[in-house]
Amino acid sequence: MIIKKLSLYNFKNHSEKKFEFSPQINCFVGNNGVGKTNILDALHYLSVGKSFLGNTDANNIKIEEDFFTIDAEIQNEDSEDTLKISQPKEAKKIIKKNDKSYDRMADHIGYLPSVMISPYDSNLISDSGESRRKFLDSMISQTDSGYLYDLIQYQKTIQQRNALLKYFAKNRVWDKDSLEIYDDPITKSGTKIFEKRREFVAKLNPIVQNFYQIISGGKESVSVIYESHLLEETFENLLSQSLERDRMLTYTSKGIHKDDLLFEMDSVLIKKIGSQGQQKSFLISLKLAQMSLIKELTNKTPILLLDDIFDKLDDIRVAQLIKLVNQENFGQIFITDTHKERTENVVRRINEESVIFEI
């Protein structure tokens, strides 16, 4: 998959920008605050329909404007497609492929897979399990069209069950039979999600370990471990055993919405013992493993988005990253940097066709 052209209108700080891209390496250089990361965010929108920075869609409309649009031409193996994302200020976001709107956002996910490596990745280590669950869900959704549908159904049913628990508490009533109506749909979708997560992490872990050894050259070993209540118990039993606890808490306390990924180094959480350099090496290894596994499972080469990472990494890690990107044939790459000369040197090392845009 190759993005040939990109047009931005009223997207964040860009009133109007148009680009024609190289099929290999594309670099955006300029001072801080000129909107380089915003261009990568627009590319991320094309992939998954939302900002990687966590902004709401309406907040990405340029100040004092009423809408934003992102237009792109995509080259497939045997055809060309157009993608358009439109976000009016007071209406629903629309994503169109070849002028036809998607009925569901989930139908678009996986069409143009992507992997982002940015300074914000450190949150995966330092934040709560929610950020790691979102990361895991994003990875799997790009490889499995049914996964996102199951996840949406599960989340809706959990919300309904929680709303009923709160209603019971507020009105001082209790109806166990009404609550159990949700047990079957939660169990069915939740168990499918659990199995797919467990299988995906089992494939991901050895790839992360391999990339980490190459990048770090260190003797320490790293692991990605899937943590879930369902590893110990069936979903039916979980709901039954936690019923009284859920009644007191007024929410569903156990299930796959509490899953987590444990990032370990030598069997200890990496956030506890890993140096800053080791944590950076691990995160790059994790993202490269994500890219490799998406490619393996979908037969599509994801686009690689590298945001300001050369300011955050030492020369050795930059060299290892560039070497890996070149060896693994990772496809189309987009890079942001504040130093044009440094970017040119990096591109020269990869020795591929490239375009540098000064923003």
In a domain, 41, yes or no: yes
In a domain, 214, yes or no: no
In a domain, 287, yes or no: no
173 and 70 share one domain: no
The answer to whether 56 is a known ligand-binding residue is no
Range of the structural domain that residue 267 is part of: 125-209+219-282
pTM: 0.87
Q: What is the pLDDT of residue 315?
A: 67
Q: What is the pLDDT of residue 104?
A: 82
Q: What is the mean pLDDT of residues 92-96?
A: 92
The answer to whether 274 is a known ligand-binding residue is no
Q: What is the mean pLDDT of residues 117-142?
A: 90
Chain-wide mean pLDDT for the chain?
A: 90
Q: What is the mean pLDDT of residues 61-71?
A: 92
Q: What is the mean pLDDT of residues 30-51?
A: 91
For 292-304, what is each residue's pLDDT tens digit? 999 999 988 899 9
67 and 147 share one domain: no
- What CATH number did the domain enclosing 247 receive? 1.20.1050.90
CA distance 271 to 176: 42
| Three-state secondary structure of 67-120 | EEEEEEEEECCCCEEEEEEEEECCCCCEEEECCEECCCHHHCCCCCCEEEECHH
| Res. 327 pLDDT band, cuts 50 70 90 | low
Domain tally for the chain?
2
Token pair 């890690």: residue: 317
The answer to whether 129 is a known ligand-binding residue is no
11 and 77 share one domain: yes
Label the pairing between strands 2-11 and 303-307.
Answer: unpaired
The answer to whether 123 is a known ligand-binding residue is no
201 and 233 share one domain: yes
The answer to whether 171 is a known ligand-binding residue is no
70 and 167 share one domain: no
Quick check: 95 pLDDT over 70?
A: yes
The answer to whether 35 is a known ligand-binding residue is yes
For 183-222, what is each residue's pLDDT tens digit? 999 999 999 999 999 999 999 999 999 999 888 877 889 9
Q: What is the pLDDT of residue 32?
A: 87
Most confidently modeled range among 24-38, 311-325, 326-340: 24-38
Let me know: does 186 contact 255? Beta carbons within 8 Å: yes
